[in-house]
Amino acid sequence: MVSIRLSRTGAKKRPFYRIVVIDSRKRRDGRYIEKIGFFNPIAQGAAPRLSLNLARMEHWISQGAQASKRVGELAREAKRMPAIVVEEAAA
């Protein structure tokens, strides 16, 4: 079965999580199928706290993937957030 869950990265006492699509039999930080976002629980200032590609999440859920409880909460939060417009710098 495929699941959508958090994969921890970052330094000791400085957590940073990737939101990944992964085979449920793999370990927490193991090889994933696709990265669909990130979650930074200790973000401060202008640093983004959450980024999630909702379209890809819906795609995987339609294919039978199951989101973890925490990822489900983060998805609801992402749906409430206003869209952030990212302007590309002129080269």
- Domain membership flag for residue 66: yes
Q: Are 69 and 77 in contact (CB under 8 A)?
A: no
- Domain membership flag for residue 35: yes
| The predicted structure's pLDDT at residue 84 | 53
- Domain membership flag for residue 91: no
- Per the structure, the count of domains in the chain is 1
Tell me which amino acid residue 22 is: I
Q: H helices within 1-91, ranges in order? A: 54-62, 69-80
- Domain membership flag for residue 18: yes
Cβ neighbours of residue 53 closer than 8 Å, sequence gap 6 or more? 36, 37
Containing structural domain, residue 19? 2-80
Q: What are 12-27's pLDDT values in tens digits?
A: 999 999 999 999 898 8
- pLDDT confidence tier of residue 60, bands split at 50, 70 and 90: very high
- pLDDT confidence tier of residue 28, bands split at 50, 70 and 90: confident
- Give the span between the Cα atoms of 81 and 51, in whole angstroms: 10
- Domain membership flag for residue 29: yes
Residue 72: pLDDT over 70:
yes
Q: How far apart, in Å, do the first and last CA atoms of the chain sit?
A: 44
- Domain membership flag for residue 86: no
Average pLDDT of the residues of the chain: 87
Q: Are 35 and 29 in contact (CB under 8 A)?
A: no
- Domain membership flag for residue 50: yes
Q: Which residues, listed in sequence order, are joined to residue 10 by a DSSP beta bridge? A: 15
Q: Where residue 43 sits, what CATH number does that domain have?
A: 3.30.1320.10
